[in-house]
Amino acid sequence: MARSKEPIWWSMFSAGGVIAAFLIPATLLITGFAPLAGYITAEQLHDLIDRSWLVKIYLFILIALPLFHWAHRFRFTVADLGLRGGAALQAILFYGAAIVGTICAAVILIRA
Amino acid sequence: MPRHQPATPAKQHIRPMPVGWWLKRTSYFLFMMRELTCVFVGGYALFLLMLVARIGEPDAFAALLEHPGSLVFHVLALPFVLYHTITWFNVTPKALVIYRGEEKVNPVIIAGANYVGWIVVSVALIWIAWIAIGSA
Amino acid sequence: MAASNTTTSNAVVTMDVFRYEPDASELPRMQRYTVPFREDWVVLDALNHIKDEIDGTLSFRWSCRMGVCGSCGMMVNGEPRLTCNSFLRDYYPNPIRVEPLSYFPVIRDLIINLDHFLDKLEEVKAWLIPAEDRELSEGEYRQSPAQLAQYKQFSMCINCMLCYAACPAYGHHSEFIGPAALALAQRYNMDSRDGASDERADVIFSEEGIWDCTFVGECARVCPKNVDPASAIQQAKVEATKDFFKSVLVPWGKRQQPAESR
Ligand code: SF4
Ligand code: FES
């Protein structure tokens, strides 16, 4: 038996899990409920992101790591639901989506 | 590594894993809900990606933010992301075991530290957003 | 308590018992028995009553009747339990359903095939492999209470396999090394006298080792000895991740090869 390469994905999954646990609930309130309740307008939020590199880096982290968290956990959820066919293809699809999403986020935020 | 041949009897009965196994026990169901939180975690990342893709186009940005679909998504996602946070903190002490001499540090303290940190970070985030917008 | 006080006269309890008799039928069935209800009886007592008084063909394993041998594990109303530890009074007056441990192949009635589990214990080398060989005359291998505390919890395992019967990852994939064997591997890895973590790593850090685990956590909940295999596996995942990144970042820092296979 060989030592697995799973640590690559598991470490990203864990990092994403930590980031998601700490940051998503509050961020969700800012993007979802503050505009709804009138505490913030879409325009203000737009300018907040547009003006600050710090906010852009924050958003990059909040996009990239949770995507890997999703890819890894979803891969195992699908297996746990009993859909075990094409495991390699599934892995390529899910991790691939996370990689593409991360690259998109980087390109968009650098150019923005 | 070779597994030696088990002394399997001529006949044995194998019970297949039921497809709906996770519906058969509350703890299994909660486990599946915990795993499915990832759909909303990933979904929110995707939403943010769509949002930042509209930077520089304030109208499109506002249209996405105020779209009924995004509102529905936020309302659905909130309980799931909170469930992710809670379950994540509660199992952290299982992976992070700290010993002080012969004594294991109480898991409640480790999980509790996470909760305290979470509240501080969340309040800080909202406060910073508030200040930044106020000063704009 | 005097025995006479503990008997509720005429009260009975219904037992639905899983039967599989390969010589008679390919398919298992449930058989209903009615046994006397006694305050101080456990499910195993009721099964022994059936075997002695009602139906001698019923087969099951047991030995110590005191929760230490680990041989009497069965599903009681769908929960993996030591039957010598499960009182009838906790279920009475409802019927009690007794089945062989989930996810294992059944050989006969309540008896499962545990060969796979025994193989796995061997694969992970669940025994002490001393870091340094010593002559008997050199005295014992010493260990401090703090070093003992590191692994003591994992050493309490009685190999009852209840954790496997609670584990959907094992249910899906019987090659998964599984909770108890991984907890025992971790038990020896964390023992200051042991020197074989690197040998074990090839098995426990493989796909069929810790990486099949999705941390359902049920193993920890059903374990009668509070072993917490889920925690052992998570800790091993952290170790495996350190091991992996170390081997990527410092590939020249070769891991020691075991002198010869032991
Ligand atoms: S870890 Fe607990 S449940 Fe599993 S075999 Fe050992 S004692 Fe039994
Ligand atoms: S008979 Fe030994 S543990 Fe139950």
Domain identity same for B61 and B125: no
Q: How confident is the model at residue B99 (pLDDT cuts 50, 70, 90)?
A: confident
In a domain, C7, yes or no: no
Q: How do the domains of chain A map onto residue ranges?
A: 10-111
A30 to chain B: which residues are within 8 Å by CB? 125-126, 129
In a domain, B71, yes or no: yes
Mean pLDDT of C96-119: 95
**Ligand 2 midpoint to CA C22 (Å):** 26
Domain identity same for C132 and C246: yes
Q: Whole-angstrom Cα distance, residue C95 to residue C116?
A: 32
In a domain, C247, yes or no: yes
Tally of CA atoms within 13 A in the half-sphere of B43 that contains its CB: 17
Q: Which residues of chain A have pLDDT under 70?
A: none
C209 to chain A: which residues are within 8 Å by CB? 1, 4
Between B22, B94, B101, which is nearest C146 by CB?
B101
Domain endpoint, select from C74, C89, C112: C112
Largest Cα separation within chain A, whole Å, is 58
Residues 6+ positions from B15 with CB-CB distance below 8 Å: C102, C103, C106
Q: Please judge whether A10 and C237 are an interchain contact, meaning their C-beta atoms are less than 8 angstroms apart.
A: yes
User: Range of B101's domain?
Assistant: 96-136
Q: Evaluate if residue C4 carries a pLDDT over 60.
A: no
In a domain, B3, yes or no: no
As for how many domains chain C has, the answer is 2
CB atoms within 10 A of CB C41: 20
Domain identity same for C120 and C234: yes
Does residue A22 belong to the interface with chain C, where contact is any CB pair within 8 Å?
no
Domain identity same for C90 and C198: no
Between A4, A7, A82, which is nearest C245 by CB?
A7
In a domain, C262, yes or no: no
Domain identity same for B77 and B110: no
Domain identity same for B83 and B104: no
Domain identity same for B35 and B83: yes
User: Range of C169's domain?
Assistant: 115-252
C182 Cβ below 6 A of ligand 1: no
Domain identity same for B112 and B81: no
Does residue B24 belong to the interface with chain C, where contact is any CB pair within 8 Å?
yes
Q: Evaluate if residue B41 carries a pLDDT over 60.
A: yes
Mean pLDDT of C25-36: 95
Does residue A39 belong to the interface with chain C, where contact is any CB pair within 8 Å?
no
**Ligand 2 midpoint to CA C81 (Å):** 10
Interval C75-102: pLDDT, tens: 999 999 999 999 999 999 999 999 999 9
Domain identity same for B61 and B108: no
CATH of domain A10-111: 1.20.1300.10
Q: Evaluate if residue C68 carries a pLDDT over 80.
A: yes
pLDDT value of position B1: 39
Q: B103-112 — which CB contacts under 8 Å span 24+ positions?
A: B103/C149, B104/C149
C82 Cβ below 6 A of ligand 1: no
Q: Whole-angstrom Cα distance, residue A11 to residue B37?
A: 18
Domain endpoint, select from C72, C94, C112: C112
Interval A82-97: pLDDT, tens: 888 888 888 899 999 9
Domain identity same for C170 and C182: yes
- The neighbouring-strand residues paired with B13 are C106
Which two three-digit tokens encode residue A74? 């979803």
Domain identity same for B91 and B35: yes
Domain identity same for B72 and B58: yes
Domain identity same for C163 and C234: yes
Q: How confident is the model at residue C7 (pLDDT cuts 50, 70, 90)?
A: low
C71 Cβ below 6 A of ligand 2: yes
Domain identity same for B24 and B40: yes
Mean pLDDT, chain B, as a whole number? 89
What's the CATH number where B51 sits? 1.20.1300.10
Mean pLDDT of B57-71: 89
In a domain, C150, yes or no: yes
pLDDT value of position C1: 43
Q: Evaluate if residue C119 carries a pLDDT over 60.
A: yes
* C-alpha separations of B37 from A81, B79, C35, C226 in Å: 15, 9, 46, 29
Q: Evaluate if residue C251 carries a pLDDT over 80.
A: no
Question: DSSP per residue over A4-43, as a string?
Answer: -SHHHHHHHHHHHHHHHHHHHHHHHIIIIIHHHHTSS-HH
pLDDT value of position A86: 81
pLDDT value of position A43: 85
In a domain, C24, yes or no: yes
In a domain, B128, yes or no: yes
Burial B120-131 (b: 16+ CB within 10 A, else e): eebeebbeebee
Interval C196-235: pLDDT, tens: 898 999 999 988 899 999 999 999 999 999 999 999 999 9
Domain identity same for B29 and B79: yes
In a domain, B5, yes or no: no
pLDDT value of position B8: 63
Q: Please judge whether A79 and C205 are an interchain contact, meaning their C-beta atoms are less than 8 angstroms apart.
A: no
Domain identity same for C214 and C188: yes
Mean pLDDT, chain C, as a whole number? 91
pLDDT value of position C255: 55
In a domain, C126, yes or no: yes
Quick one: DSSP state of residue C194? Answer: B
What's the CATH number where C25 sits? 3.10.20.30
Mean pLDDT of B8-36: 90
pLDDT value of position C94: 96
Residues 6+ positions from A17 with CB-CB distance below 8 Å: A69, A73, B84, B88
Interval C125-176: pLDDT, tens: 999 999 888 888 888 888 999 999 999 999 999 999 999 999 999 999 999 9
pLDDT value of position A38: 76
pLDDT value of position A36: 75
Burial class (CB in 10 A: 0-12, 13-18, 19+), C3: exposed
Quick one: DSSP state of residue C53? Answer: I
Domain identity same for B34 and B80: yes
**pTM for this predicted structure:** 0.90
- Specify the higher pLDDT residue, B67 or C54: C54
Q: How confident is the model at residue C258 (pLDDT cuts 50, 70, 90)?
A: very low
> Do residues A65 and A99 make contact, with C-beta atoms less than 8 angstroms apart?
no
What's the CATH number where C236 sits? 1.10.1060.10
ipTM (interface pTM)? 0.92
In a domain, B6, yes or no: no
Burial class (CB in 10 A: 0-12, 13-18, 19+), B86: middle
**Ligand 1 midpoint to CA A82 (Å):** 25
Q: Evaluate if residue C259 carries a pLDDT over 80.
A: no
Domain identity same for C106 and C119: no
Domain identity same for B86 and B123: no
